[in-house]
């Protein structure tokens, strides 16, 4: 591949080749060098609370079943029969006692072990049926209910992979003893845009907010957002951590009035204090919006918009090709919250973000237009600009007490370029 040696990212000039955002060859390499070697988010444990519950997702570009087995542990199994490859599960979710292939009848336990081919007596006597179970992902781990898997059997642990970003994730997903729960199945939609645009948008693209989201940021019912955009920069910052993760925190200046804490139900606040440390609680007190990306394609946002409930939502930017992704979008609330609050969080979450969200509809329109207009040899000669990262890359904030490296102000492209540099480094590694 022509960019293999030099990479796609020009760190001196703050530029990234458009090829990275449209090419199917790049997509193929991403599967090999990133998606089949990184920890990829699949599901939340509350989507499969009971033994035998499963959801069907994709790990890299391989269809997988995420199932809670009889030992109450989560297994990730390739959704393809060891005999002739048919899918064991052709829907998206269900509950089962076993997996039976509809093609010729090979039957598996829910942990993936082969129970019978139905024709065991026709196999040679030395056949090792024990090795003929459904192909398991060798590494499956949860972080406060967030289930990740990794095809690479030599992978570092999930905790090590998340590193410092874990501190921030904890604040959103482990802030009560019961943890968070998914409030509805994920919204799913296809968008003809490269998946990285989603990851970049969430890791720290404050510059897009006032223009892309001119609608919600102008209309009265979202006045908080408009005011937030105007003040962006001085009291907000990006955080970047190893492995290419990062997030953007708005309204977090020390000493600011704790005006954002009132949107959390009073009943939950003592629980936060029980589960989080003082710094994490302090962050919740001040925070208006936190939006971030776990490399490569998991994003999360906690935002206070509209009526005021802080919807925590999670987005997965699943690559379908160089120019198309499928998006999955979940909304979460604290398990201990009352049903009325959960309902409001869910409705508010859908209204803003999701398959018909007033924010997301404009994002998708413009991301697709960027991908479409870049998919030609003339446009490909002109790289994308991330130049507003450059003056800030080497000057992290020195007063940041929390994990990760912070950069002010928050309306630069530092976090996005951080992501692209990590992406570029992985894409240039050749060892398999």
Give the binding-site size for another protein (rule: CB under 8 A): 40
Among 39, 4, 9, CA closest to 25: 4
CA–CA dist 57, 270 (Å, integer): 36
Angle in degrees, 0-180, between the axes of helices 414-427 and 195-204, rounded to the nearest 10: 140
Among 214, 256, 267, 379, binds another protein (CB under 8 A): 214
Return the number of other C-beta atoms located less than 10 Å from residue 224's C-beta: 18
Residues in 319-378 at the binding interface with another protein, rule: CB under 8 A:
326, 346-347, 350-351, 354-358, 360-362, 364-366, 368-369, 372
Among 259, 300, 263, 258, CA closest to 168: 300
Q: CB-wise, 6 or 221, nearer to another protein?
A: 221
From 80-88, 90-98, 109-117, 141-149, give the range in contact with another protein by CB under 8 A: 90-98
Residues in 295-324 at the binding interface with another protein, rule: CB under 8 A:
306
Among 104, 190, 223, 262, binds another protein (CB under 8 A): 190
CA–CA dist 370, 87 (Å, integer): 35
Among 86, 107, 184, 397, binds another protein (CB under 8 A): 184
| Nearest distance, CB of residue 183 and another protein, angstroms | 10
| Nearest distance, CB of residue 192 and another protein, angstroms | 7
Greatest Cα pair distance in the chain: 76
From 180-188, 228-236, 256-264, 280-288, give the range in contact with another protein by CB under 8 A: 180-188
| Nearest distance, CB of residue 377 and another protein, angstroms | 19
| Nearest distance, CB of residue 362 and another protein, angstroms | 4
Among 187, 285, 288, 422, binds another protein (CB under 8 A): 187
Q: CB-wise, 235 or 360, nearer to another protein?
A: 360
Q: How many helices (H) and strands (E) does the chain have?
A: 13, 22
Would you count residue 135 as binding another protein (CB under 8 A)?
A: no
Q: CB-wise, 171 or 329, nearer to another protein?
A: 329
CA–CA dist 74, 405 (Å, integer): 33
Q: CB-wise, 173 or 330, nearer to another protein?
A: 330
Would you count residue 221 as binding another protein (CB under 8 A)?
A: yes
Would you count residue 105 as binding another protein (CB under 8 A)?
A: no
From 120-128, 183-191, 261-269, 412-420, give the range in contact with another protein by CB under 8 A: 183-191
For residue 156, how far is the Cα from the chain centroid? 19
Among 185, 270, 308, 391, binds another protein (CB under 8 A): 185
Question: Strand, helix or coil at 93?
Answer: strand
Q: Is 308 left (phi over 0), alpha (psi -120 to 50) or beta?
A: left
End-to-end Cα distance, the chain? 16
| Nearest distance, CB of residue 308 and another protein, angstroms | 12
Read off the tokens for 124: 């040679």
Tell me phi and psi for residue 43, to 5 degrees.
-165, 170
| Nearest distance, CB of residue 175 and another protein, angstroms | 25
From 32-40, 198-206, 214-222, 382-390, give the range in contact with another protein by CB under 8 A: 214-222
**Residue where the block lists tokens 């009848």:** 105
Contacts (Cβ under 8 Å, ≥6 apart) of 40: 59, 60, 148, 149, 150, 296, 297, 298
Q: CB-wise, 215 or 391, nearer to another protein?
A: 215
Which residues in 216-362 belong to E strands, given as ranges? 237-240, 246-250, 289-294, 298-304, 310-321, 324-334
Footprint on this chain of another protein (rule: CB under 8 A): 91-94, 184-185, 187-192, 212, 214-216, 218-219, 221-222, 306, 326, 346-347, 350-351, 354-358, 360-362, 364-366, 368-369, 372
């Amino acid at each position: 591949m022509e960019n293999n040696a030099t990479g796609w990212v020009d760190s001196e000039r703050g530029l990234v080749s458009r090829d990275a955002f449209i090419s199917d060859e790049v997509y193929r390499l991403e599967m090999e060098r990133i998606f089949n070697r990184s920890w990829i988010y699949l599901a939340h444990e509350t989507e499969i609370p009971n033994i035998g519950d499963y959801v069907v997702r994709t790990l890299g570009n391989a269809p997988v079943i995420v199932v809670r087995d009889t030992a109450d542990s989560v297994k990730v199994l390739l959704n393809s029969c060891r005999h002739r490859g048919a899918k064991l599960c052709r829907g998206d979710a269900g509950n089962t006692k076993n997996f039976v292939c509809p093609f010729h009848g090979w039957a598996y336990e829910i942990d993936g072990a082969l129970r019978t081919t139905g024709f065991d007596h026709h196999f040679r006597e030395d056949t090792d049926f024990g090795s003929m179970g459904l192909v398991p992902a060798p590494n499956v781990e949860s972080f406060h209910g967030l289930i990740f898997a990794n095809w690479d059997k030599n992978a570092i642990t999930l905790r090590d992979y998340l590193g410092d970003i874990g501190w921030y994730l904890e604040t959103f997903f482990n802030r009560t003893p019961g943890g968070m729960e998914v409030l509805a199945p994920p919204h799913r939609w296809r968008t003809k845009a490269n998946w990285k645009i989603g990851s970049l948008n969430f890791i720290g693209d404050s510059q897009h907010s006032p223009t892309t989201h001119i609608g919600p940021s102008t209309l009265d019912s979202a006045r908080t957002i408009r005011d937030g955009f105007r003040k962006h920069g001085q009291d907000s910052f990006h955080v970047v951590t190893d492995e290419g993760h990062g997030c953007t925190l708005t309204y977090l200046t020390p000493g600011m009035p704790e005006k954002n804490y009132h949107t959390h139900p009073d009943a939950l606040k003592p629980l936060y204090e029980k589960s989080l440390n003082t710094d994490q609680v302090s962050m919740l007190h001040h925070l208006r919006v936190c939006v971030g990306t776990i490399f490569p394609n998991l994003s999360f946002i906690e935002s206070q918009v509209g009526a005021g409930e802080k919807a925590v939502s999670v987005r997965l930017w699943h690559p379908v090709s160089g120019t198309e992704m499928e998006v999955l979008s979940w909304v979460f609330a604290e398990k201990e919250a009352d049903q009325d609050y959960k309902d409001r969080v869910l409705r508010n979450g859908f209204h803003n973000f999701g398959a018909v969200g007033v924010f997301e509809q404009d994002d998708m329109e413009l991301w697709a237009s960027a991908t479409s207009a870049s998919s030609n040899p003339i446009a490909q000669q002109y790289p994308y600009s991330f130049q507003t990262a450059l003056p800030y890359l080497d000057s992290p904030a020195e007063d940041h007490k929390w994990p990760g490296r912070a950069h002010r102000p928050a309306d630069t492209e530092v976090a996005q370029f951080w992501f692209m540099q990590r992406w570029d480094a992985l894409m240039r590694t050749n060892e398999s």
